[in-house]
Structure 1
């Protein structure tokens, strides 16, 4: 999930320092690569929708399954992931933590942004050749249904990483002063060279290298603003290359494994669906109905915000998209009623955390992919925990707004409520259809997204009459970019998780966690604290890919139902993601609301406490998560 912050971004912060005039040929080459990558990336998103829709139609309508549809979708998917990663890199949209870097002076921030690009360039330079070797090895493998050489799929890795390397070099010289760019590259080169020189010494340290590379190394890179995916990748490559005898091609192999799960194809498709429901007016129809229904009660629009986020959440794949679909429709009226800006952004952030378990959540899909837990069970179990946490937020809203003056607010008539309900019925039906189709086994989590896309397009064209054809291509490109940034993180995190497992760390962690006094209660409490911290630093998806395969088996061993555990850790990560000062979700809410982060710091404390109380209730009562799981 790519979440923007109030940080101006690489180009913006460097511009503040008075960067030199652009070099014409560099700009032209950068633009040409952008077109070269964006057009096929957009077409691949469209192709995936068509291929999967054909598979669903053939299987469930014509009762004649297409044996090649999933295989073709898988081949195209890796190309989409790599091309999307390139687009995200060119746009500066790979996930990174800017809470610390963003507080520095413009000049210092700009230079650290160059360091971040230089670090990414170093990783890409290291893995391009191993990726080529990996693709060469795949020539001996043929796909079962289509019978084509698997190198056609694997070639996406060296080509994608090579183009990303070129983009990185162009970016560092496009947006930075020449001397600063060379200095940043030199600093990274010196660090890499120094580590290479002490390589023999590192091998003698044994498992202390885990602390050096995966705690100190990853921590330093993330805090310096290096995109999370490249931080994971550099640490993993350095650990394997300098401290083990394992071939570095394994890093690429594990990245391929992480990005190639067909279930993850739901990521770009749900991202596209989220953009469609915003463009077609589906989200606004939901919000208008809820506003008419509850707008006349004290704190009513705050309840509407909680309810609207519950309905919309999870469909887009991006919390930023969820918030952007709901906030603009509500905030102007809430401001008129006297709501303070800080309280608005605080509640918006809290609802983002509240709805992390609402299906079809990409975090839940990732949990299913990484741990083998049933996606249908996770989708069933995720509905009620979101309600419980919503109730705790609603209780705080009632307390804060119990003295609200509503003398100037007109209560909507029954006719107005009924009319807005009729308008909203097609919109309200969409999340119900999506969740029911998965839970009832009509379609997989991947396939059902295509049904939602078709439904949204038809509703936009025929019912709401809001469909801007000019926005379709930018939406497809944005879908590819956001999906690429998510999938690249999953690939890098998979490699890192493999390295940790091979080192014996997973066994040691399992033994330590099982040895904690108090059994399941202590294990759950430690997990909540750990995932709140991880959520603020790494966000949900990379944290799950890293620790899910390690911790879920332990949860089962101590007697915790895997769906129950999934709900608790997902909500805990949501708190970390939206809690300042590190949670990037909070800064996303500020950017969408156009409210300064400082204004929400005090009001959000109460909402975070309410969220934590909700998580404790969900953790203490397993039935909330498992009561409806078959």
Structure 2
């Protein structure tokens, strides 16, 4: 699942409150951060372009010239790990790492700077502890030669210590520049005391056995998540503490597991689909689709709500990023819907519900992650995701019909069919893109990773030749935004992979598998329990880290119980989507509120009806496997 950061802003006015003696220091810090930030931004943007170019060249060489480039995947993978780490650096500098802020947002305003400083200090503590093992890991990789390029693997592995060092620099700069000195000093003291206490009491953990799992993965991990510490660093602190204090494992192992989790070539689709989502908004493709649907259905009761549901379905099939989807659709529809008397809370509730509804529409980043960590065919997941999302869309339409059946449309004019046809012709290139993407994967033209490059090329040509809307000045910021969101996602995958490895080595994975596999009632009971588990996980961890942690554990059990992997994947993703977008904990709901500029309290009550509809739809999908596997 792809999400931009949900951070609570630091109190403004810090610089203005600084004494004159510190004004020069503040200016120097800002200049250093700005200069170094531009270098990192430029490098990350070029890496996004380079990966697009390498993969597109590989597709053309293999499919058109029939001369495969044997080194393309290896070079793309090498560039990708650098992109992931530099993207994580940008996300830290911009405060865009994913985090849970439901509790933090309820804190008194004067206490929020302290919690923000604590989040930075906790991240800094993890980075300081892991940079030594990261350098050791990279040093060992220098003796390995890559098979195709025949260069030292140090060129790739060096991305990890480099990225960690840069994150340390930016974390320290942000702490000095943004946090009031008292908050910063208090945060440093608190984190220092906690880390020191754990370290000095290290001998106590040697004899605790399985209790260490509760202490580190529940106490430290969950505690950090609820305290507002970015999820990637919360997972990292829990895993590092467990391995360092509760086991005899060599610490470079945690870096190796992070590398393994972040380096899977399938995940290269993440930044490319994120960039594609930004492209369709910039080129006017999303606006064209929304305009056509509004002309087609705008004159019926609840018509624009149906348009919102349909537009999210179509846009999700292109961008793969829910934040990008909602940002593309909401501004085009909300003003007109408000003019027709729709309440803001109702609008944002439906927007959040459609975000959950379309989680399985390809190319969903969560589906790509599932394929990466479980080995399920990406093409099968892409095919199986269309009908389940359509079922949930129909259930939402039923709720819309009930709520708007008495809407007054006396002042609404029906769009003439000639105008609808014109809008349809304009939208046709945009409407065709999801089918182009799916056909390229199914027909073997490109892999699930490479097909995003074809979508990008298609969107560029459509923007330049068809819609004549292509702002070259926005390309740079879009590339940096792509790197930032991708880095935030991939760092979570890396630390979650390390945590999953630690859980496996501890024996917890086997115990969980045995407990889930021995549930009374067989497959139906396992499916019901899975729905409950992933609704809860989706509301706390978001989709991607939850999948990385529990996907490798539960998918084999589902297979053993006779549940098709694609069917189980659809139920898991829809359940997590429900948790992600349901208040009060679901961060997706708060993202929808931010995009719609609506206070979260206004949408909670209308969201209850939509959440119940989503749950009913999820149960229908779980009960009818054909909806997920009928077209495989």
Cα distance in structure 1, aligned partners of 2:51 and 2:13: 37
8 Å contact from structure 1 (residues 305, 348) kept in 2: yes
**Alignment match, 1:359:** 362
* Residue 99, structure 1, aligned to residue 102, structure 2: yes
1:76-128 superposed Cα distances (whole Å, 9 cap, x missing partner): 00000000000000000000000110111112111011000000000000111
8 Å contact from structure 1 (residues 17, 107) kept in 2: no
Cα distance in structure 2, aligned partners of 1:109 and 1:306: 36
1:100-158 superposed Cα distances (whole Å, 9 cap, x missing partner): 10111112111011000000000000111111111110011111111000000000001
Number of aligned residue pairs: give it.
628
SS at match of 1:404: coil
1:328-385 superposed Cα distances (whole Å, 9 cap, x missing partner): 1111111111111110000000000000000010000000000000001100100000
* Residue 129, structure 1, aligned to residue 168, structure 2: no
Superposed counterparts of 1:313-352, under 5 Å? 313-352=316-355
**Alignment match, 2:219:** 216
* Residue 37, structure 1, aligned to residue 36, structure 2: no
8 Å contact from structure 2 (residues 555, 565) kept in 1: yes
User: In 2 relative to 1, CA 314–204 (structure 1 residues): closer, same or farther, beyond 3 Å?
Assistant: farther
**Alignment match, 2:458:** 455
How many angstroms does 1:6 deviate by?
A: 7.3
8 Å contact from structure 1 (residues 347, 604) kept in 2: yes
SS at match of 2:563: coil
SS at match of 1:446: coil
How many angstroms does 1:582 deviate by?
A: 0.8
User: For 1:46, which of 33, 45, 49 is the aligned residue?
Assistant: 49
User: In 2 relative to 1, CA 2–521 (structure 1 residues): closer, same or farther, beyond 3 Å?
Assistant: closer
* Residue 489, structure 1, aligned to residue 489, structure 2: no
Cα distance in structure 1, aligned partners of 2:215 and 2:562: 34
**Alignment match, 1:548:** 551
Cα distance in structure 2, aligned partners of 1:545 and 1:627: 26
8 Å contact from structure 2 (residues 7, 95) kept in 1: no
User: For 1:203, which of 206, 209, 212 is the aligned residue?
Assistant: 206
Q: TM-score, normalised by structure 1?
A: 0.98
User: For 1:307, which of 296, 307, 310 is the aligned residue?
Assistant: 310
How many angstroms does 1:437 deviate by?
A: 1.3
SS at match of 1:445: coil
**Is the deviation greater in 104-113 or in 421-430?**
104-113
8 Å contact from structure 1 (residues 14, 176) kept in 2: no
User: For 1:191, which of 191, 194, 204 is the aligned residue?
Assistant: 194
Cα distance in structure 1, aligned partners of 2:126 and 2:7: 24
**Alignment match, 1:76:** 79
1:464-485 superposed Cα distances (whole Å, 9 cap, x missing partner): 0110111010000000000000
SS at match of 1:405: coil
SS at match of 2:142: helix
User: For 1:525, which of 510, 524, 528 is the aligned residue?
Assistant: 528
* Residue 464, structure 1, aligned to residue 478, structure 2: no
User: For 1:67, which of 70, 77, 98 is the aligned residue?
Assistant: 70
* Residue 427, structure 1, aligned to residue 440, structure 2: no
1:600-624 superposed Cα distances (whole Å, 9 cap, x missing partner): 0100000000000000000000110
**Alignment match, 2:538:** 535
8 Å contact from structure 1 (residues 2, 93) kept in 2: no
**Is the deviation greater in 103-112 or in 117-126?**
103-112
**Alignment match, 1:561:** 564
SS at match of 1:315: helix
* Residue 174, structure 1, aligned to residue 177, structure 2: yes
**Alignment match, 1:118:** 121
Cα distance in structure 2, aligned partners of 1:435 and 1:328: 28
8 Å contact from structure 1 (residues 5, 584) kept in 2: no
**Alignment match, 1:388:** 391
SS at match of 1:417: helix
How many angstroms does 1:514 deviate by?
A: 1.0
User: In 2 relative to 1, CA 288–209 (structure 1 residues): closer, same or farther, beyond 3 Å?
Assistant: same
Q: TM-score, normalised by structure 2?
A: 0.98
Q: Which runs of 4+ in 1 moved over 3 A?
A: 1-8, 11-22
User: For 1:590, which of 590, 593, 614 is the aligned residue?
Assistant: 593
**Is the deviation greater in 348-357 or in 408-417?**
408-417
8 Å contact from structure 2 (residues 5, 98) kept in 1: no
How many angstroms does 1:315 deviate by?
A: 3.2
How many angstroms does 1:588 deviate by?
A: 0.7
SS at match of 1:125: helix
Cα distance in structure 1, aligned partners of 2:63 and 2:5: 43
Cα distance in structure 2, aligned partners of 1:402 and 1:136: 67
How many angstroms does 1:440 deviate by?
A: 2.7
SS at match of 1:625: helix
**Alignment match, 1:414:** 417
User: For 1:140, which of 121, 128, 143 is the aligned residue?
Assistant: 143
Cα distance in structure 2, aligned partners of 1:519 and 1:440: 37
Gaps of 5+ in 1: none
1:295-325 superposed Cα distances (whole Å, 9 cap, x missing partner): 1111111111000000001533421110010
Gaps of 5+ in 2: none
* Residue 607, structure 1, aligned to residue 610, structure 2: yes
